[in-house]
Chain A
Amino acid sequence: MAERNGGDGPPGHRHGTLDVEARLGAALRAYHPDPEAEHRAVAAFRTARTPGARPPRTRPRDDWRPASPRRSLRTALSLALASLALGGVATAAIGVSGSREAEQGVRRPHPSTTATPPVPVAPSSAVPPSTATPPPPAESGPPAAHPVTVHGTRARCQAFGKTAPRGHALDATAWQQLVAEAGGQEEVAAYCAARNADRPGETGAGPTRGDRKK
């Protein structure tokens, strides 16, 4: 119902809109009946009817029942898809925000270059994370779940070293591992440098899937 704006005061925006609707509607629906047009329409109705014929099929476009099953099915499907999507995001968020180290890793300066994708989304291109924690949110790469090994550390350090100047492309879990092993974020660089120096000839050995470029 239209509100009655009795006095002055702020022009009720809603009230104004209703007034516009009413005026427009009345003006546009102003109508001079055309008997001839009506006769033609009724004639069409008459000729269209074939008595005794099979009832014509109701196509989806003809179904305008209120809250028809078809419409609620669509709604149900949309809701299902939406909850799947949300569920996926929620699952993905588990690995990312699992720990402070992970968060710090996440909050690292997003190397806004194309070479290093932001940490939370990096997993696929990063080292094959040997993890005891849940697999990282891998949208493209296979979720790796290798046990903690030296090889893993080396691979992580290599990955770290390759992108260190700009940050790192290690996923949160791998980064967390390195930090734990190195004894702190600031130690990682030194730690990895030491490890790489220890095994100069083995840069390409072991599971170096982490060397995969992004």
Chain B
Amino acid sequence: MTMEAKDTAGACRTVRDAPCGGHELGTTGTVLGQGGEPRSRWPRDGELGAAVARAQDGDEGAFAVAYRIVQPGLLGYLRALVGEDAEDVAADAWLEIARDLGRFTGDGAGFRGWTATIARHRALDHLRRRRTRPRTTVLDQDVLDRAAPHSTHDQALESLSTARALELVRALPRDQAEAVLLRVVVGLDGPAAARVLGKRPGAVRTAAYRGLRRLGRTLAPEPGVTDAGPGTLGESK
């Protein structure tokens, strides 16, 4: 069960035909997707919604399931926001999530939005206490090593290591970084991301688009030079 998160990420490396831009990781649709964009964009949302409902009835095992489904995205989001203290902030967030679980009402996608909002508040509180600006420059290498499984794929040009991804995202303007993170890491659609950020959907959509475009230029600077296939991550020949 605990390997699932890893496997999901690893699926793209090993299964050549699985479109990583597709449903495996749930990043379907376009950046500027409008009303046609399905609200539940991630493959495990049904499972998550059911787990949350059971957890609200007292099922401890169901809560653990929900935790495992949500935590990778939450942690990824927090890592970009607060850097090395991401685990601590996540722990704070889960305390609040556990405490207020009975208040929540919604489906799996809604749960991801709800938990992201809580995590973000904890992150901002944390940053305020530390009197640190969101974009701290130093990332503890241990944190990064723990974050990503070691892999020879990291050596390949096409692949993208966690450290590098963090570095790139944290270099974006704050609004773009958050919009991108909520979309790509937490898997929220436009309206949900806007709600988390307390901004207009149009503004968030624009920020995400700009951020992704900028990141895209960094990751694939030459037109026409793309990976061997869409969605493959450093698949070595």
Q: Give the interface of A toward B (CB within 8 A).
A: 1-5, 8, 10-11, 14-35, 37-38, 40-42, 44-46, 48-49, 51, 55-59, 61-66, 68, 71
Contact = CB atoms under 8 A, between A and B. Distances in A.
A65 B63 contact: no
A26 B105 contact: no
Contacts of B39: 66
Contact of B60 (A23, A29, A42, A57): A42
Contact of A62 (B3, B21, B60, B100): B100
Interface centre among A38, A45, A68 (most CB of B within 10 A): A45
30 contacts: A1-B23, A2-B20, A2-B22, A5-B230, A10-B223, A11-B226, A16-B226, A17-B209, A18-B21, A18-B27, A18-B30, A18-B230, A20-B212, A22-B233, A24-B165, A24-B180, A26-B160, A27-B148, A28-B80, A29-B5, A31-B75, A33-B71, A37-B90, A38-B67, A38-B71, A41-B94, A41-B95, A44-B94, A44-B98, A66-B106
B104 A58 contact: yes
Contacts of A17: 30-31, 209, 212-213, 216
A63 to B, nearest CB: 6
A26 B162 CA distance: 8
Contacts of B220: 11, 16, 19-20
Interface residues on B, range: 35 or more
Nearest to A20: B216
Given A17-B31, A61-B117, A65-B105, A28 B76 contact: yes
B36 interface: no
Contacts of B191: 71
B160 A44 contact: no
B73 interface: yes
Contacts of B60: 42, 45-46
Interface string B100-135: 111111110111011001000000000000000000
Chain B: interface secondary structure?
Answer: helix
Interface centre among A5, A17, A38 (most CB of B within 10 A): A17
A33 B100 contact: no
A21 to B, nearest CB: 5
Nearest to B99: A48
Given A20-B219, A22-B233, A48-B98, A30 B9 contact: yes
- Nearest 7 CB-CB pairs, A to B? A2-B21, A64-B110, A64-B106, A27-B165, A31-B72, A28-B76, A45-B98
Given A21-B21, A37-B91, A29 B212 contact: no
B149 interface: yes
Nearest to B110: A64
Nearest to A55: B102
B37 to A, nearest CB: 12
Nearest to B104: A62
Interface string B167-180: 01100000000001
A4 B169 CA distance: 26
A45 B226 contact: no
Contacts of B181: 28
Nearest to A53: B102
Given A11-B223, A40-B91, A42-B63, A31 B9 contact: yes
Contact of B184 (A8, A25, A61): A25
Contact of B28 (A1, A19, A46): A1
A30 B184 contact: no
Contacts of A20: 212, 215-216, 219-220
B157 interface: no
A57 B209 CA distance: 37
B87 interface: yes
Contacts of B75: 31
Contacts of B77: 28
Given A17-B31, A23-B160, A46-B60, A57 B103 contact: yes
B227 A19 contact: yes
